[in-house]
Structure 1
Amino acid sequence: MQVKRIKRFISGVLLLDKPHGISSNGALQQVKRLYQAAKAGHTGNLDPIATGLLPVCLGEATKFSQYLLDANKTYQARMKLGQTTTTGDSEGEVLEQKPVNVHLAEIEKLLPRFTGNLSQVPPMYSALKHQGKALYTYARAGIDIERPPRNITIYSLGIDEFSGDELVITVSCSKGTYIRVLSEDIGNALGCGAHLIELRRTEIGEFKIADALTILQLEAMSLEERDAQLLSADCLIHKLPPVHLDADSAFYFQQGQAVWQAKQVHKGQVRVYDTERNFLGLAEIDSDGKVAPKRVVVRSAVV
């Protein structure tokens, strides 16, 4: 008889180094199983061929995941020049092949055209929804859906390596940027075409891949050791100013009630703590100085 595991009501943020070959949701489910967590979510999808930083939110931390979804990101991408594919990456079928007669100086001169504020058309092979279905389901059926261009920003774009028909670049960009599309656009501008063969996310906001753990590392740990790897849920909103409430105000705040706190200098969104520096949630201070709860955490579950 199989024993059913009891789910744990645990919260925090794990910086995961997602392996190659599985979806972000697949990686999420493995982390959720290892922590025996009742609730989990990730902050920014990575394709199965991609590796790298995937923050996983457990429990109450999921309430603040949007802040990382909106954060800037950094990737290292390896492109194969001279070939285009149906998906824009190595998982697709080759559409066209051209000779590569490109020099490093030519690439260096070209790349500044792909920095700054740009307009990018999302790829058909993506999880974006159209009438309730992901675009890739239409693409697999041979149906092309018109996609409006989206405004993105490439903050920096540098060459790490260039050898023959392979180009490695590091890209710092805004949310919503498709590195597959960027690779295709660079290949088209060079006149030979290109597709993405490797992608690794190295930064999200201020979180870095050097601080992430692999699934294999987590599997080798005890449950207590895994728990010790979790970051506090408030790390997701650490850029917001802090507000500390007295015991009475903290009680009513946790009941979902707006409270008034004397001598408040902040306006707008803040992160809220009690007198013992326990994280209570996200609030917004109005013009009257009231601290109105927007996201309240359950204290017993917060790391």
Structure 2
Amino acid sequence: MDYVKYFNFNGILLLDKPKGITSNCALQQVKRIFFAKKVGYTGSLDPLATGMLPILFGNATKFSRYLTNSIKKYHVIVKLGETTVTGDLSGEILKKRSVCLNIHNVKKILKTFVGEIKQTPPMFSALKYKGIPLYKYARLGISVPRKNRNLIIYQLNFIQLIDNFLEFTIVCSKGTYIRSLVDDVGKKLKCGAHVIYLCRLQVGLYVSSQLINLTKLYFIENQNINQTHRFYLFNMLSTFLLPISSFFLEYPIVKLTSQDADNFKKKLCIYLVNCFKIGLVQVTTGKKNIFLGIGRLSALGLLTPECILLS
């Protein structure tokens, strides 16, 4: 392993995080397999949760905030009639109640959560109060003040209600805690509820068909490739990475001349004649539309660099 200490990957791996490990644990396993120097992730998933965890390599980490702000889609299964300390099946049961519901009423209640809502983050979360994660207070039985968040639930689609189990999908804005939402649903249904299954299906434009699981990565790692073929391993692992520009496929493209591209990379503002786009844009250059970064265009045609790939 001394022959190659690390590889300089740049791009995004859409990891299918397994149940039972933290997001950081998943990150560390990927980092080791890829011999990667600079790695991060965006959009933490609880140990209970599975599904899409975007792992960012190298220069992709510069753009993490754009992915964090993307909409998310989840598949959720809820147990009705029980509330727990954590809001999911990992916590101690606080209260049990009988469940007497029909599908019509459940659908009606779910519809009330679609649109702009306010949500209080759960105590069992990584949000910090006075520099300390909330879950550390929660483990000591201490409740601290939490500010309500304004969120948007774009879709909440009922799938089925079988006995005490409710299944649905949800498309929501950043910062949405599914455990808190389920707790609020349980309160409206007057029976209580907690999450027993949670899978993230989508982040922004990325979909579940693009996911890569750890089993596949372990298989490649265990091919007993010798030291002289480490760069063959590099090429194999590279095929799993999506380009950084894939973050921004929904953004308009502004193509710069070579001179303007040099100025953009120097973080200089550029005035573009006859450019009618407004807001965030992809900035590219050259015949192959080489991705340079993200800029913001004003109504007057002034392009301001926001995040540059190489600077």
User: Shared fold (TM-score greater than 0.5)?
Assistant: yes
Structure 1 residue runs of 5 or longer lacking an equivalent are: none
The separation in 2 between residues aligned to 1:4 and 1:81, in whole angstroms, is 55
Shift in Å at residue 236 of structure 1? Answer: 1.2
8 Å contact from structure 2 (residues 7, 234) kept in 1: no
The aligned residue for residue 38 of structure 2 is 39
The aligned residue for residue 49 of structure 1 is 48
For residue 291 of structure 2, the aligned residue among 260, 279, 292 is 279
Shift in Å at residue 161 of structure 1? Answer: 2.4
1:250 aligns with 2:276: no
Output the amino acid matched with 1:255: K
Identity fraction in percent: 39
The aligned residue for residue 183 of structure 1 is 182
The aligned residue for residue 142 of structure 1 is 141
Q: TM-score, normalised by structure 1?
A: 0.91
Matches within 5 A, 1:187-198: 187-198=186-197
8 Å contact from structure 1 (residues 75, 202) kept in 2: yes
Aligned CA distance change for structure 1 residues 246 and 121 (closer, same or farther; 3 Å): same
1:4-55 alpha-carbon deviations (Å, 9 max, x no partner) = 8522222111111111011111112222222222211212111010001111
Shift in Å at residue 279 of structure 1? Answer: 1.1
Aligned CA distance change for structure 1 residues 287 and 107 (closer, same or farther; 3 Å): closer
The separation in 2 between residues aligned to 1:253 and 1:106, in whole angstroms, is 56
Report the secondary structure of 1:251's partner residue.
helix
Output the amino acid matched with 1:36: F
The separation in 2 between residues aligned to 1:134 and 1:285, in whole angstroms, is 38
1:61-114 alpha-carbon deviations (Å, 9 max, x no partner) = 111111111111111111111111111111110111122222223312322122
Output the amino acid matched with 2:255: H
8 Å contact from structure 1 (residues 64, 237) kept in 2: no
Output the amino acid matched with 2:293: G
Aligned length: 298
The separation in 2 between residues aligned to 1:292 and 1:107, in whole angstroms, is 48
Shift in Å at residue 198 of structure 1? Answer: 0.8
The separation in 2 between residues aligned to 1:88 and 1:128, in whole angstroms, is 16
1:164 aligns with 2:175: no
1:223 aligns with 2:234: yes
The aligned residue for residue 69 of structure 1 is 68
Q: Which moved more, 1:91-100 or 1:288-297?
A: 288-297
The aligned residue for residue 224 of structure 2 is none
The separation in 2 between residues aligned to 1:172 and 1:247, in whole angstroms, is 40
The separation in 1 between residues aligned to 2:275 and 2:7, in whole angstroms, is 37
Shift in Å at residue 202 of structure 1? Answer: 0.6
The aligned residue for residue 264 of structure 1 is 275
Aligned-residue Cα RMSD (Å) equals 2.0
The separation in 2 between residues aligned to 1:296 and 1:59, in whole angstroms, is 13
1:128-171 alpha-carbon deviations (Å, 9 max, x no partner) = 11111111111111110121211112122122222111111111
Structure 2 residue runs of 5 or longer lacking an equivalent are: 221-232
Output the amino acid matched with 1:298: L
Q: TM-score, normalised by structure 2?
A: 0.89
The separation in 2 between residues aligned to 1:107 and 1:289, in whole angstroms, is 50
The separation in 2 between residues aligned to 1:290 and 1:187, in whole angstroms, is 50
The separation in 2 between residues aligned to 1:112 and 1:69, in whole angstroms, is 26
The separation in 2 between residues aligned to 1:34 and 1:192, in whole angstroms, is 46
